[in-house]
């Protein structure tokens, strides 16, 4: 192949590469342009769950408060949980009104009590978490952030420190 033929071939190939790069969709260039963004994974997750109050289920406030779900912020920054909901399969829910500091947890107890930074209370007079149930945490827009099931096989379910 002559020198000029090689130059023409190289020019055509380079032009084609430039055209192909220009035709790439915006999301393929490795930068986020606000389109087709993957859902960001929340730093707030469900932790340990005590779904069956130890001892006899006698309905006392002490027994009710021995049933709880831990919500943990694994991130470094505080998260405003105002309007977030924790619910069971029956639709019973607790609505948060707190700011959860980074790398901290709060226990959501079933019974009546005085809320603190580490413990909040649903102020219920009956048990919430059954021996076969699912705890679901939703953000203030109703999107599921995390869920955990126990007591039977659930698709994709595993147990995470229950009891």
DSSP the chain: --HHHHHHHHHHHHHHHHHHHHHS-GGGGTS--SSSPPPPPPSEEEEEEE-S-SS-----HHHHHT-EEEEEE-SSS-EE-TT-EEE-TT--EEE---EEPTTEEEEEESS-----SSEEE---SS----SSEEEEEE-TTS-EEEEEEESS--TT----S--
Q: What is the pLDDT of residue 163?
A: 37
Q: What is the pLDDT of residue 152?
A: 75
Q: What is the pLDDT of residue 8?
A: 66
Tens place of pLDDT for every residue, the chain, 163 residues? 666 656 665 555 555 554 444 444 443 333 344 444 445 789 999 999 999 999 999 999 999 999 999 999 999 999 999 999 999 999 999 999 999 999 999 999 999 999 999 999 999 999 999 999 999 999 999 999 999 999 976 544 333 444 3
Q: What is the pLDDT of residue 93?
A: 98
Q: What is the pLDDT of residue 22?
A: 46
């Amino acid at each position: 192949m002559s020198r000029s033929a090689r130059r023409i071939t190289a020019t055509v190939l380079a032009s084609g590469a430039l055209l192909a790069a220009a035709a790439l969709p915006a999301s393929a260039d490795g930068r986020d342009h606000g389109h087709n963004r993957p859902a960001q994974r929340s730093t707030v997750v469900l932790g340990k769950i005590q779904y069956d109050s130890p001892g006899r289920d006698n309905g006392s406030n002490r027994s009710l408060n021995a049933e709880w779900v831990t919500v943990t912020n694994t991130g470094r920054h505080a998260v405003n949980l105002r309007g977030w909901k924790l619910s069971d399969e029956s639709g019973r829910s607790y609505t948060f009104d707190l700011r959860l500091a980074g790398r901290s947890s709060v226990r959501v107890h079933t019974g009546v009590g005085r809320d603190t930074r580490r413990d909040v209370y649903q102020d219920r007079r009956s048990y919430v978490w059954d021996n076969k149930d699912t705890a679901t945490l939703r953000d203030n827009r109703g999107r599921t952030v995390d869920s955990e099931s126990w007591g039977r096989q659930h698709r994709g379910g595993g147990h995470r420190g229950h009891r």
